[in-house]
Amino acid sequence: MRSDRTSSRASLRPRWLAEAVRAPMSVAEIGAVIRTLRRRAPAWRPTAVAEVAAEQADPFRVLIACLLSLRTQDATTRDASERLFGVADTPTAMLRLSSARISRLIFPVGFYRTKARVIREISRDLIDRFGGAVPSDLEALLTLKGVGRKTANLVVTIGFAKPGICVDIHVHRISNRLGFVRTTSPDQTELALRAKLPRRYWIGYNDLLVAFGQNVCRPLSPHCSRCPVARWCRKVGVGRTR
């Protein structure tokens, strides 16, 4: 009966998803990859959002740091987050600031003027609809202006320590390069990972692969000669290496 239910679920998958999860790397191999990267991770600097969460595990701070990090380098995000949260780190406090003041505090993050307006709108929305608290539900988070699946999943995993899969360009690229999934977009990668990656690995998967991608598995000419998981990697799409 159990195998019948499994077969039924598999048959209901869209064709692209069925192909995506048939990528060559097995679940056992990705487990070995994750365990190996966890051992190496202390030598790599965490992402800016992870550092914000480590300093104070507050979902609002995580949400705002996520927004600041979009199209922005980590070093800039760290500095902007520190300046902003030094002045306001709750929805109520944020609304006391004008968009112009927020813009000055977060400059030079990408699209800083737009982000300043969005931060105020989100703060107002949180107060009006959620009693000033950041919702822990993915679908509720997606109703907030400027919050996409990447940001929502990161808030769920880092802000609330709940299972979720945040897929940015690093996670999309490396999951495909390893040969664990076969997809063409971050949204497809998220769904493929939800279908194939054991739930126990969901929290932390993003931070682990982002740090790995920034330090070793670079987009162009990755450092395969010193890669700790080279023995399992299928090197899909890799040309020149170091």
Sign of the four-CA dihedral 126, 130, 136, 142: negative
Q: 4, 58, 128, 150: which one is catalytic?
A: 150
Query: For position 12, what pLDDT does the model report?
Result: 67
Query: For position 8, what pLDDT does the model report?
Result: 45
Q: Tokens in use for 138?
A: 């993915």
Q: 168, 196, 207, 235: which one is catalytic?
A: 168
The pTM score is 0.88
Q: How far apart are CA 61 and CA 44, in angstroms?
A: 23
Going by pLDDT thresholds of 50, 70 and 90, the confidence category of residue 5 is very low
User: Tens digits of per-residue pLDDT, 199-212?
Assistant: 999 999 999 999 99
**What is the rounded end-to-end Cα distance, in angstroms, of the chain?**
50
Q: Is 150 a catalytic residue?
A: yes
User: Tens digits of per-residue pLDDT, 134-148?
Assistant: 999 999 999 999 999
Same fold, 13-44+165-226 and 58-160: no
User: Tens digits of per-residue pLDDT, 15-27?
Assistant: 999 999 999 999 9
Domain locations along the chain: 13-44+165-226, 58-160
Please give the CATH number for the structural domain made up of 58-160. 1.10.340.30
Distances (CA, A) of 213 to 24, 91, 101: 21, 33, 34
Helix (H) or strand (E) run with residue 15 in it: helix 15-20
With a CB cutoff of 8 Å and minimum separation 6, the contacts of 155 are: 59, 62, 63, 66, 134, 141, 147
Query: For position 13, what pLDDT does the model report?
Result: 77
Instruction: Evaluate the omega torsion of the peptide bond into residue 108 and state whether it is cis, within 30 degrees of 0.
Output: yes
Mean pLDDT within 184-188: 95
Q: Is 207 a catalytic residue?
A: no
CATH architecture designation of domain 13-44+165-226 = Orthogonal Bundle (1.10)
With 80 as the cut, is the pLDDT of residue 7 above it? no
Give the side-chain half-sphere CA count within 13 A for 30.
25
